[in-house]
């Protein structure tokens, strides 16, 4: 679909699939370098949402009428597509959630609430997004479980040499991010899962920054849980999923109570459906799930390996060009990295820099990126982050460099 005759990919045509990229901001052509916060949406996803509301809208698993069957079928087909996308063994291993944050909270509250005891340990890393930290703090408070952290080295990678001393038998779960949203570090998921398994710990992968950016296969990675958000991978907001290995998902009690998740209810007691429906109380985000499936189709039509390659080139090019600027410090590893660069400049505070850039139509993010402990670790109040996706171009990076150069002149 997106191939040109030579066998290469027509990235320019792909860019045309995103109507919003024709917007102007403050009178300038929009340069959207904030896809790590949320990605833009291709027309295919917008059309899928519209099509659903125009032709299929009804509640799922309830009505005995035609539209309800269509909606239910589309919703469950979306679940199967997510399962395929992640390489899960079955659609029953996919719970629809609002996104990464809700997926992690589900594990923390429902799994952690049942299985964690005083003295148990949840191992995290110093680079976790607040959404893979705060739910565990809440759980620790409730259960008496302890939190432990894999330190981050100066180059932005995990201190893997510390792993064997941290991964003791008390560790019941090791939860870590696949790609750091501030550093761009790509963690060695497979190796981390293997080491955790060796001490009997389960693993949870925060795939918020990787699910739309690179091939992922949960069975190859060997993780027990994996969480992601649709809105960071071309899908709508308010939808995401939790992958949970069947055997584990089935052992977890319900989380939210309500309609859809029950088999039978008396005034005293209820019997619950099996996973994943047990975890989806109430009317789900049907349109969101359908939009997410459309996003998956769209991404697969380009190919995740190609997207990864494209984004890596952009990130590498950005690193190279940023190094030309005076007083520039780029965080994170210099070799392999995800589709983003976080940096600080002597001349200007991240906040001033992003305000300045915004006036030229360049959308970046400045601040702590929901990584306060990590920022503290690097002795920084925050960074400026430019994050990319397959619709961005080298030309846009060149323009960013010009704008940053102007900013240096303006602020010094």
Partner 1 sequence: MISELEELYQEVILDHSRRPRNFGDLADAAVRVHGDNPACGDEIHLGVKFGTDGGLQDIKFTGHGCAISQASASLMTAKLKGKSRAEATEMLRAFHDLVTDETAEAPKMLGDLRLLQGVRKFPQRVKCAMLAWRAVEQALQQSAGESTISTETEFVTP
Ligand X SMILES: Cc1ncc(COP(=O)(O)O)c(C=O)c1O
Footprint of partner 1 (CB under 8 A): 26, 348-352, 355-356, 359-360, 366-368, 372, 375, 380-382, 410-411
- Write out the residues near ligand X by the rule CB under 6 A: 99-101, 129, 131-132, 177, 181, 206, 208-209, 229, 370
Contact 321, 164 (CB under 8 A): no
Minimum distance of partner 1 from residue 26's CB (angstroms):
8
Minimum distance of ligand X from residue 338's CB (angstroms):
10
Selection from ligand X, partner 1, none that 181 binds (CB < 5 to 8 A by kind) is ligand X
Minimum distance of ligand X from residue 100's CB (angstroms):
4
Residue given tokens 């570090």 in the structure block: 185
Q: Which two tokens stand for residue 4?
A: 């040109």
Minimum distance of ligand X from residue 260's CB (angstroms):
22
Query: Is the CB of 242 or the CB of 407 nearer to ligand X?
Result: 242
Distance separating alpha carbons of residues 141 and 125, to the nearest angstrom: 18
Minimum distance of partner 1 from residue 385's CB (angstroms):
13
Selection from ligand X, partner 1, none that 229 binds (CB < 5 to 8 A by kind) is ligand X
Cα(first)–Cα(last) distance of the chain, in Å? 49
Selection from partner 1, ligand X, none that 131 binds (CB < 5 to 8 A by kind) is ligand X
Query: Is the CB of 177 or the CB of 285 nearer to ligand X?
Result: 177
Query: Is the CB of 356 or the CB of 378 nearer to ligand X?
Result: 378
Distance separating alpha carbons of residues 65 and 81, to the nearest angstrom: 24
Minimum distance of ligand X from residue 328's CB (angstroms):
23
Query: Is the CB of 60 or the CB of 403 nearer to partner 1?
Result: 403
- SS3 state of residue 72: helix
Provide the annotated active-site residues. 370
Minimum distance of ligand X from residue 129's CB (angstroms):
3
Selection from ligand X, partner 1, none that 243 binds (CB < 5 to 8 A by kind) is none
Q: Is the sign of the CA dihedral 73, 75, 76, 80 positive or negative?
A: positive
Residue given tokens 């063994």 in the structure block: 89
Selection from ligand X, partner 1, none that 349 binds (CB < 5 to 8 A by kind) is partner 1
Query: Is the CB of 72 or the CB of 181 nearer to ligand X?
Result: 181
Closest C-alpha to 48, from 325, 287, 339: 287
Output the DSSP codes for 207-241.
-TTTTTTS---HHHHT-SEEEEEGGGTTS-TT-EE
E-state strands within 102-213: 121-125, 146-150, 171-177, 202-206
Q: Is the sign of the CA dihedral 284, 42, 205, 73 positive or negative?
A: positive
Q: Which two tokens stand for residue 279?
A: 């975890």
Selection from partner 1, ligand X, none that 101 binds (CB < 5 to 8 A by kind) is ligand X
Closest C-alpha to 102, from 245, 271, 281, 299: 281
Query: Is the CB of 72 or the CB of 105 nearer to ligand X?
Result: 105
Distance separating alpha carbons of residues 159 and 177, to the nearest angstrom: 14
Selection from partner 1, ligand X, none that 164 binds (CB < 5 to 8 A by kind) is none
Query: Is the CB of 289 or the CB of 353 nearer to partner 1?
Result: 353
Omega before 276 within 30 of 0, i.e. cis = yes
E-state strands within 126-212: 146-150, 171-177, 202-206
Distance separating alpha carbons of residues 37 and 110, to the nearest angstrom: 27
Instruction: Classify the phi-psi angles of 262: left when phi > 0, otherwise alpha if psi is within -120 to 50, otherwise beta.
Output: beta
């Amino acid at each position: 679909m997106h191939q040109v005759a030579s066998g290469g990919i027509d990235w320019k045509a792909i860019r045309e699939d995103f109507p919003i990229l024709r917007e102007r901001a403050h009178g300038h052509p929009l340069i959207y370098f904030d896809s790590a916060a949320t990605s833009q949406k291709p027309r295919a996803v917008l059309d899928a949402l519209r099509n659903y509301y125009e032709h299929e809208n009804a509640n799922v698993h309830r009505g005995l009428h035609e539209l309800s069957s269509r909606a239910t079928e589309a919703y469950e087909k979306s679940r199967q597509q997510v399962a395929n996308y992640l390489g899960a063994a079955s659609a029953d291993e996919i719970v629809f959630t609002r996104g990464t944050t809700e997926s992690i909270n589900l594990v923390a509250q429902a799994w952690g609430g049942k299985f964690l005891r005083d003295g148990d340990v949840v191992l995290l890393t110093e680079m976790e997004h607040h959404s893979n930290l705060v739910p565990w703090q809440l759980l620790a408070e409730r259960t008496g479980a302890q939190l432990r952290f894999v330190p981050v080295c100066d180059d932005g990678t995990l201190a893997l040499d510390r792993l064997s001393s941290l991964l003791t038998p008390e560790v019941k779960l090791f939860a870590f991010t696949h790609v750091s949203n501030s550093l761009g570090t790509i963690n060695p998921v497979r190796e981390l899962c293997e080491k955790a398994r060796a001490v009997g710990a389960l693993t949870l992968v925060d795939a918020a920054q990787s699910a739309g950016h690179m091939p992922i296969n949960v069975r190859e990675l060997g993780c027990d849980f994996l969480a992601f958000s649709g809105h960071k991978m071309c899908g709508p907001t308010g939808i995401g999923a939790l992958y949970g290995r069947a055997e584990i998902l089935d052992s977890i009690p319900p989380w939210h109570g309500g309609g859809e998740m029950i088999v039978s209810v008396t005034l005293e007691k209820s019997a619950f459906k099996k996973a994943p429906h047990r975890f989806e109380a109430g009317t789900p985000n049907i349109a969101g799930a359908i939009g997410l499936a459309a996003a998956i189709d769209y991404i697969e039509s380009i190919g995740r390996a190609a997207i990864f390659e494209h984004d890596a080139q952009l990130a590498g090019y950005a690193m190279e060009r940023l190094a030309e600027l005076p007083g520039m410090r780029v965080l994170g590893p210099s070799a392999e990295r995800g589709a983003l660069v976080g940096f600080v400049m002597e001349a200007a505070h991240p906040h001033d820099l992003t305000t300045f850039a915004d006036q030229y139509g360049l959308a970046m993010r400045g601040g702590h990126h929901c990584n306060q402990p990590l920022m503290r670790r690097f002795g920084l109040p925050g960074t400026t982050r430019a994050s990319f996706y397959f619709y961005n171009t080298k030309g846009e990076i060149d323009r960013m460099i010009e704008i940053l150069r102007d900013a240096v002149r303006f602020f010094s």
